[in-house]
Amino acid sequence: MLPTKKLLPSINLLLNQARHASTKPKTGIIMLNMGGPQKVDQVHDYLLRIMTDRDMIQFPMMQDHLGPWIAKRRTPEVMKKYEEIGGGSPIYKWTQTQGELLCKQLDAQCPESAPHKHYVGFRYVEPFTEDAMQEMERDGVKRAVIFSQYPQFSCATSGSSFNAIYKFYKKRDLPKDLKLSVIDRWATHPLLVKTFADLIRKELDKLPADLKQDAIILFSAHSLPLKAVNRGDSYPSEVGATVNLVMHELGYCNPYQLVWQSKVGPLPWLGPFTDDAIKGYVKQGKKTFLLVPIAFVNEHIETLHEMDIEYCKELGEELGVKDIYRVPAPNDHPLFIDALTDLVKQHLTSGVGVGNKFLNRCPHCVNANCLASKKWYSEVCLNSIKAI
């Protein structure tokens, strides 16, 4: 017997509710990153947020005045760079792609925690970290993994994003039925290592035999002020660990060097700097270089402009060296998506809410936010996981 017309709306409503319930996310993956302006008119506010973030940068005095002044002063130059790479950063596009592929694989491999949904949480541009947490709450997620997209942990990058979540919940209650846990670093994950090794092999194989043999592999990562290194920031050692494992995977096939880029301001930063290293090797008679963005998981201003334009093109022309090449960032490489999937999959079954290394402050930490933040994570994450 067919349903009457009066019953049809009720049946449709029930079907819609059932459909919504079946797709409602059970597990949320919050993907933390710095972010980048998608349009040039967002550059000033992006820089302003960076320059006034005391977790990222600590001026010796008057940060509330110096930060805005530096942001305003640098805006025209940085806008020009974004215009030269197409008018904005592709980091949001790549993070969305990575998140979608990650959750698709998690749904297939981890049906007990499915459906999974990713949330993009950028520190200095929309969608902000706070926006990701609010969206996740609205979705009614019961289990959330805060997943840093910086493989190597630094207090200035990963730490700032984690502190932002603490500050967000400092002003509001954490939902009682929400279970939080943290993936804070993954510099030595085997599939991350294999991803970089595969990308490097493919670029080396494009070179003629004589160039391939002589090419110096320059692993380039964002530098750090020496005062941060001396406080005990683990970032340099974690980047070095990734480099060593990648070269081991490659059988130490070529000469290589870890170098550092993106220095800002007059204070001493960790070196050698990427451009200075290239100049130094050219003086030694070296002519072929392969740049590897070892601390970046997707394309953005520091790969597309600093590496591709400033180093490979402009510096190459200045030095009369035409063989400076660059390995792509992991982006949507299948091995990299497998790495993300394995990290979350293993984490969900580990029963570990937050790692001891994350909870341990640097020996010379001067950031009061870190003290309060780590205390909050130790209470919330450990209790959450134990309560599952």
Residues 228 and 249 in one domain: yes
The pLDDT tens digits along the chain (388 residues) read: 445 555 544 555 444 444 444 579 999 999 999 999 999 999 999 999 999 988 887 776 667 778 899 999 999 999 999 999 999 999 999 999 999 999 999 999 999 999 999 999 999 999 999 999 999 999 999 999 999 999 999 999 999 999 999 999 999 999 989 999 999 999 999 999 999 999 999 999 999 998 999 999 999 999 999 999 999 999 999 999 999 999 999 999 999 999 999 998 788 999 999 999 999 999 999 999 999 999 999 999 999 999 999 999 999 999 999 999 999 999 999 999 999 999 999 999 998 999 999 999 999 998 988 999 999 999 999 766 655 4
Residues 178 and 201 in one domain: no
User: What was the pLDDT predicted at 16?
Assistant: 44
Is residue 135 domain-resident?
yes
User: What was the pLDDT predicted at 20?
Assistant: 44
Is residue 21 domain-resident?
no
Residues 175 and 238 in one domain: no
**What is the separation, in whole angstroms, between the first and last Cα of the chain?**
46
User: What was the pLDDT predicted at 17?
Assistant: 44
Q: Which of 44, 116, 118, 189 is catalytic?
A: 189
Residues 180 and 198 in one domain: no
Residues 199 and 318 in one domain: yes
Q: How many domains is the chain partitioned into structurally?
A: 3
User: What was the pLDDT predicted at 104?
Assistant: 98
Residues 214 and 238 in one domain: yes
d(CA 115, CA 106): 8
User: What was the pLDDT predicted at 384?
Assistant: 66
User: What was the pLDDT predicted at 385?
Assistant: 65
Residues 292 and 315 in one domain: yes
Strand order in the sheet with 288-293: 256-261, 216-222, 288-293, 323-326
User: What was the pLDDT predicted at 370?
Assistant: 93
Residues 322 and 368 in one domain: no
Q: What is the CATH number of the domain that holds 174?
A: 3.40.50.1400
d(CA 256, CA 282): 14
User: What was the pLDDT predicted at 66?
Assistant: 85
Residues 229 and 142 in one domain: no
Is residue 3 domain-resident?
no
User: What was the pLDDT predicted at 55?
Assistant: 83
Could you give the angle at the alpha carbon of 105 between the alpha carbons of 382 and 148, nearest 5°?
A: 40
Is residue 345 domain-resident?
no
Residues 195 and 178 in one domain: no
Q: Which residues contact 145 (CB under 8 A, 6 or more apart)?
A: 27, 28, 29, 30, 181, 182, 183, 344, 347, 348
Residues 254 and 316 in one domain: yes
User: What was the pLDDT predicted at 15?
Assistant: 42
Q: Which residues contact 345 (CB under 8 A, 6 or more apart)?
A: 106, 109, 110
Is residue 304 domain-resident?
yes
Annotation says 65 is catalytic: no
Strand order in the sheet with 27-33: 116-122, 27-33, 143-148, 179-183
Which residues on adjacent β-strands are paired with residue 288? 323
Is residue 314 domain-resident?
yes
Annotation says 118 is catalytic: no
Residue 235 structural domain: 190-326
Residues 97 and 179 in one domain: yes
Could you give the angle at the alpha carbon of 193 between the alpha carbons of 182 and 214, nearest 5°?
A: 145
Is residue 284 domain-resident?
yes
H or E element that contains 28: strand 27-33
Q: Which of 107, 198, 323, 342 is catalytic?
A: 342
Is residue 45 domain-resident?
yes
In 171-234, alpha helices (H)? 190-205, 209-214, 226-231
User: What was the pLDDT predicted at 64?
Assistant: 75
